[in-house]
Amino acid sequence: MSASIVLLATDADHVYDEVDAVLGGDHEVVRVHAGAEVLAAVRDHDPVLVVLDLQIGNMGGMAACLDLRLEERAERIAPQRVVMLLDRDADEFLAKRAEADAWIVKPIDALLLRRTARDVLADA
């Protein structure tokens, strides 16, 4: 049986390394480098969890999350579980507006990310 997939959208190598180190043991972490690639990657990989870095390329995590939610409402994709990686506590407002299921503030705390992912997946 293949590992379940976590889709990570980030253009920062260190963020990928950290997320893969935390979640890679239980999941296969598939990375895209731009928010504009997220929807196609969701369709291609059917991830159990989508992790979006707030600051990515020309379509950030907020826009990518909103895009997923619009596609869900139009019933063009299955409901997605989304965790956003925020730059500061004040960005929590953006995560709520984007309808993320959960979020954490960088730098990534391994235990917090693991617990957040577990909790979001348990609510699925």
Q: What is the pLDDT of residues 43-64, one digit of tens each?
A: 999 999 999 999 987 889 999 9
What pLDDT is recorded for position 123? 85
How confident is the model over 7-36, as pLDDT tens digits?
Answer: 999 999 999 999 999 999 989 999 999 999
Collapsing DSSP to helix, strand or coil, 81 comes out as coil
Residue 105: how many CB atoms within 10 A of its CB?
Answer: 18
Multiple choice CATH, 4-118, 3.40.1190.10, 3.40.50.2300, 3.30.310.80, 3.40.50.80? 3.40.50.2300
Q: In the sheet where 27-32 sits, what is the strand order?
A: 27-32, 4-9, 49-53, 82-86, 102-105
Instruction: List, in sequence order, the alpha helices (H) in 46-109.
Output: 61-73, 92-97
Q: Which H helix or E strand runs over 124?
A: none
What pLDDT is recorded for position 58? 80
Domain boundaries, the chain: 4-118
pLDDT category, 1, cuts 50, 70, 90? very low
For the chain, state the CA radius of gyration. 13
In the predicted model, is pLDDT for residue 87 greater than 70? yes
What global pTM score does this model have?
A: 0.95
